[in-house]
Amino acid sequence: MTTTPIQDPTQPDGISRRVRRVPVFDPVLLFAVLGICGASLLTLHLAGASVSGVSANYYVTRQATYFAVGIVLAAALSRIDYSRLRELKYGLYAVTIAGILLVSLVGSVARGSRRAVALPFFSFQASEVGKLLLVLALSAFVVDRIRRLGDRDTTGRVVLAALVPAALVMAQPDLGSALVYVVVLLAVLFTAGTSWRHFGGLFALATVAIGLVFVAAPAANITVLHQYQKDRLTAFLHPSNNPDRQGYQQDQSKIAVGAGQKTGRGDDATQTKLKFLPEAHTDFIFAVVGERYGFVGATLVLSLYALLIWRGLRILTLAKNLYGALVAAGIVAMLMFQVFVNVGMTIGIAPITGIPLPLMSYGGSSVITTLLAIGLLQSIYVQGRAAAAYKGRVLTY
């Protein structure tokens, strides 16, 4: 493994110094990421063939390009001290809000939602980039007020800072990304040590908000959630009630996963080939894995995600400061929630919210944002290991 020598600064010049070696990246995290990227390209080759009007390698080629760009940016980001980003918190937060507003104003409309700005090579989805920027900004806000974390005023300000972009994204409408923003908020507050009484208050407010959205607002003819969003949120509870409408996507996904059995159907994956499975290259790419490679293939992919999450949690414990720990917590929560919801909706235990499977689903904004998040984790890892080496601590893998 490539390492960087770290000299002990406690020894004066002219005296023999003890030199330690510190890795320049976490190889286990890199292995997990590259494994998922490889699985994505392999699966997209089959999924792309089921999409009308494009060649089998159309999505593979573009996804590989996104991976290449994202990995280069992640490598560059891993070489900087992430702590410097704390000073840019207001700018990062402003970019988050501005990006979402830009998409809301000039973004292209697809299937009733205005979520992205069409660019020559890919569609820029500000809500995806906003996930990572919000992690960085919220973590900085919490660190700045860490001595007053027990005050309700502090919790209220942080919650408000997260709910503003979440509400803007919700209005596009993009329910999935809004939920990710809320999960990031909870992860940052929990890791910082926010009082359980504050979480209890937030839970009570959330319960009231849900009641307003699903009961009070419709009674007053106020549209908060569109009907198709309500249908998606509730269809997974009774998918057989409307198998040709709200339950169609999930039914076809479960059929594909079940047909894969232990080792998969291989080239006989008819659910994908015959185009019964909707959005096979994006939202339901895990169903393609399940049908083509079966339980074995699905387990391998989930194992890679488990490895990625474990390393992220390990990096959290190695962070040299609270800011690094909060950023790592936000990133891990973001990735873990997206994996759980995407896989859950594929097998019928979670509602369809349009959340992509990180690094597996096709999409430039999602892929590049996720790889930038990985680059930040690598930066936290390297900085943490270097700080430990300076202090003479025993470093464990």
pLDDT digits (tens, 9 = 90+) for 247-285: 677 888 888 888 888 888 877 777 777 777 878 888 889
pTM summary value: 0.88
d(CA 21, CA 1): 10
What's the first-to-final CA gap in the chain, in angstroms? 12
Torsion of CA 191, 197, 198, 203, to 10 degrees: 100
Mean pLDDT, range 84-101, rounded to an integer: 95
| pLDDT single digits (tens) 155-165 | 999 999 999 99
Q: Please work out, in degrees rounded to the nearest 5, the angle formed at the alpha carbon of residue 275 by the alpha carbons of 270 and 280.
A: 100
b/e burial code for range 229-257 (CB count within 10 A of at least 16 → b): bbbbbebbeebeeeeeebbebbbbbbebb
48-57, 335-344, 356-365: least confident range:
48-57
Residue-level pLDDT at 12: 46
Q: What is the pLDDT of residue 15?
A: 38
- Please report, as a single letter, which amino acid is at residue 307: L
The widest CA-to-CA distance across the chain, in whole angstroms, is 80
Mean pLDDT of 242-250: 66
Average pLDDT of the residues in 51-66: 81
What pLDDT score does 14 carry?
42
Q: What's the CA gap between 165 and 337, in Å, rounded? A: 18
CA neighbor of 193 nearest in space, from 329, 44, 10, 84: 329
* Choice between 12 and 50, residue whose per-residue pLDDT is larger: 50
